[in-house]
């Protein structure tokens, strides 16, 4: 909007002189015409911090990665729902999605991954859901824990955590060949990271938080063992939880410091973004493949 107003004012000769701006990575005040922060070296135009700050402003929040993940999940749900309804499926709270539609859109399926080398399914399966209840519950969990973790780790490392957890969750699931979709593998990774944080900090508060998280995890796995009608994939849950816990142990539970640590964080974020984009590109290329 600022660029649009600036262009509009400039069109009629009313452009204001440029003003100093904030570095999106470290918050340092930099010159109006600067293209790189003099304190941390971050590019003010072509960096994940700049893109994240722009996305946060556009979507009206301080958690741009969580917002984008939410939007992609909803868009994929709409696409799969419309395609399923066109094939004659009936929508219900716990189902309604056609398996062939989900397969074409990138569901996790062991033979397709290991024999067909369609590794993109380890990523795209995290953005597909089997029904209204499925996506509703998962997006509620995402919005409950995602923004806080994104604020703690920074958008770049948070995106890496989410992506890696989802990949390892569905990798473990695919080793026990089953047809599976849902964001819960990546979401269990977020819970695993929260568990890791509580083990690195002492005090009654974090011990209580750890007990609550462990109870939550037990209930999730118990649901998978006891309610077979929901087809809960505990292998994906366990893989995501373990990956998130390991990443949470390795990452410092704070924003990355300016300098080399910041650059490493952005490298992880760009790597995760590249994996996500490439996976959806490969999904589009294979969208006409049938279940084999």
Picking from 14-23, 34-43, 218-227, 254-263, which range would have the lowest pLDDT averaged per residue? 14-23
Residues 6+ apart with CB under 8 A from 92: 131, 132
Picking from 60-64, 167-171, 184-188, which range would have the lowest pLDDT averaged per residue? 60-64
Active site residues: 184, 237
- The strand ranges marked E within the chain are 21-22, 29-30
User: Rounded mean pLDDT of the chain?
Assistant: 81
pLDDT reading at 245 higher than 70:
yes
The residue ranges of every structural domain in the chain are 18-61, 65-285
Could you give the angle at which helices 132-153 and 64-86 cross, rounded to 10 degrees? 160
> Could you report the per-residue pLDDT of 73-97, keeping only the tens digit for each?
999 999 999 998 888 777 766 667 8
CA distances to 22, 36, 164, 199 from 31, rounded to whole Å, are: 9, 9, 37, 42
pLDDT reading at 10 higher than 50:
no
Average of per-residue pLDDT across 130-157:
90
Distance CA 38, CA 52 (A): 20
pLDDT reading at 113 higher than 80:
yes
Give the confidence band of 242 by pLDDT, cuts at 50, 70, 90: very high
Average of per-residue pLDDT across 119-141:
92
Residues 6+ apart with CB under 8 A from 258: 25, 26, 39, 40, 41, 42
Distance CA 254, CA 74 (A): 30
Give the confidence band of 65 by pLDDT, cuts at 50, 70, 90: very high
Average of per-residue pLDDT across 66-70:
94
Q: Tell me how far the alpha carbon of residue 45 is from its chain's centroid.
A: 23
> Could you report the per-residue pLDDT of 174-230, keeping only the tens digit for each?
998 788 999 999 999 999 999 998 888 777 777 788 888 888 788 777 765 645 444
pLDDT reading at 54 higher than 80:
no
Chain position carrying tokens 């109870």? 215
First vs last Cα of the chain: how many Å apart? 48
User: What is the number of other CB atoms lying within 10 angstroms of the CB of residue 193?
Assistant: 29
pLDDT reading at 271 higher than 80:
yes
pTM for this one? 0.77
Choosing among 1.10.1660.10, 3.90.550.10, 3.40.50.140, 1.20.1540.10, the CATH entry for 65-285 is 1.20.1540.10
């Amino acid at each position: 909007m600022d660029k649009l107003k600036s262009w509009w004012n400039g069109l009629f000769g009313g452009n204001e002189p440029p003003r100093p701006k904030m570095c999106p990575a470290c918050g340092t005040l930099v010159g109006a015409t600067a293209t790189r922060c003099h304190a941390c070296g971050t590019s003010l135009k072509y960096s994940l911090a700049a893109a994240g700050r722009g996305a946060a402003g556009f979507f009206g929040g301080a958690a741009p990665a969580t917002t984008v993940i939410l939007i992609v999940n909803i868009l994929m749900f709409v696409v799969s729902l419309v395609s399923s309804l066109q094939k004659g499926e009936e929508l219900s709270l716990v189902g309604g999605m056609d398996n062939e539609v989900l397969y074409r859109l990138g569901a996790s399926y062991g033979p397709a991954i290991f024999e067909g080398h369609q590794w993109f399914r380890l990523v795209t399966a995290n953005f597909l859901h089997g029904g209204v209840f499925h996506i509703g519950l998962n997006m509620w969990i995402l919005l409950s824990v995602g923004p806080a973790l994104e604020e703690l780790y920074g958008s770049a490392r948070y995106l890496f955590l989410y992506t890696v957890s989802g990949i390892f969750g569905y990798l473990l699931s695919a080793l026990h060949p089953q047809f599976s979709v849902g964001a819960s593998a990546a979401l269990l990774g977020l819970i695993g990271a929260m568990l890791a944080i509580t083990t690195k900090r002492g005090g009654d508060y974090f011990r209580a938080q750890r007990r609550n998280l462990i109870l939550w995890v037990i209930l999730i796995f118990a649901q998978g063992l006891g309610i077979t009608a929901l087809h809960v994939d505990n292998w994906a849950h366990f893989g995501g939880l373990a990956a998130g816990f390991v990443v949470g142990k390795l990452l410092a539970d704070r924003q990355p410091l300016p300098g080399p640590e910041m650059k490493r964080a952005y490298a992880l974020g760009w790597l995760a973004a590249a994996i996500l984009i490439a996976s959806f590109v490969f999904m589009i290329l294979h969208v006409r493949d049938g279940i084999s």
